[in-house]
Chain A
């Protein structure tokens, strides 16, 4: 079974703080993704990575950065948290096949920025 874990289930931070969200997968997947989920907006892609030290912007990268120093770990960084970044953050991974890949998700981190 694919296992994707996220460092925190719930997090409360203050405006302006730097926030780190960690994601680890144990299936040797090449691809890793960060999404945020907001009511009525579905899942929106923030950043993704095809390989170690590689990153690509998704649809809503503003205010975020990422780090992938090891294949199994993908970190999302909020450089200066703002209230509009209050959301559910979901990490996912997938095996690169070049064709019809399925993503597997972690349990999510509910972030509240005050």
Chain B
């Protein structure tokens, strides 16, 4: 069963606009959530995270929102830049261990 789901395989936005990437999870034990960005032929790089004690975390142009009751998180990128074009993975972990469960990824394309 897919415990972390990213329902949109792709998203296309114009440069300067907001990009919103979504992620849903089913395991209520998850208490830490991360977003990774991946360029082709490279490993994923850590972008931003949020723990379950918060509902928002911001880092520059990137903001992650967590809605625990809906088991939903989202990543907002404002303003979007062409260099943000990449695959974005959300991931989650539970208190019981160090392993992460990843979503399928969303390909973001930012058009100039």
Residues of A within 8 A of B (CB): 4, 9, 31, 33, 35, 40-45, 48, 50, 58, 90, 92, 94, 96, 99-108, 110
Sampled A-B contacts (22; CB under 8 Å): A35-B102, A40-B9, A40-B104, A43-B89, A45-B100, A48-B99, A50-B98, A92-B43, A96-B98, A99-B95, A100-B31, A100-B32, A100-B93, A101-B98, A102-B34, A104-B46, A105-B36, A105-B43, A105-B44, A105-B45, A108-B41, A110-B41
Contacts of A9 in B (CB 8 A): 41
User: In whole angstroms, what is the CA distance A1 to B95 when docked?
Assistant: 26
Contacts of B85 in A (CB 8 A): none
A102 with B49: CB separation less than 8 A: yes
Which residues of B, 42-65, contact A by the 8 Å Cβ criterion?
A: 42-46, 49, 51
Contacts of B31 in A (CB 8 A): 100
Contacts of B95 in A (CB 8 A): 99
Contacts of B105 in A (CB 8 A): 42
Contacts of A42 in B (CB 8 A): 4, 6, 89, 102-105
Contacts of B42 in A (CB 8 A): 107-108
Q: Chain A: which residue is nearest B43 at the CB level?
A: A105
B98 with A31: CB separation less than 8 A: yes
Nearest chain A CB to B88 CB, angstrom units: 11
Interface hub of A50, A100, A108 (most chain B Cβ within 10 A): A100
Contacts of A104 in B (CB 8 A): 46
Which residues of B, 9-50, contact A by the 8 Å Cβ criterion?
A: 9, 31-32, 34, 36, 41-46, 49
